[in-house]
Amino acid sequence: MWMHIHHISQPFDLTDMDWSPELWVACHDDDEQNARLARHLWEDNGLDVPETFLDDLLTFLGLQSP
């Protein structure tokens, strides 16, 4: 079950991370409130998608790299 990030009430400091596949997926959530908050966290923490994101994303999703 996915956590609803709109239940988060405190700021998150993710600046020690380069990127987060979990948060990237949440940015594309069907629940617009989740997606909006995830994008806000993404932007506030200056996260970016690396060139190697596909391998990380596939691993996160439980799939194998091509």
Upper half-sphere CA count for residue 29 (Cβ side, 13 Å): 20
Alpha-carbon torsion, ordered 21, 22, 24, 27, to 10 deg: 170
Lookup: tokens for 13:
């400091």
Task: Write the pLDDT tens digit of every residue in 31-41.
Answer: 999 999 999 98
Contact residues for 44 (Cβ-Cβ < 8 A; gap 6+): 11
pTM of the model: 0.66
Task: Write the pLDDT tens digit of every residue in 7-55.
Answer: 555 566 666 777 788 888 899 999 999 999 999 988 988 888 888 888 8
Length of the chain: 66
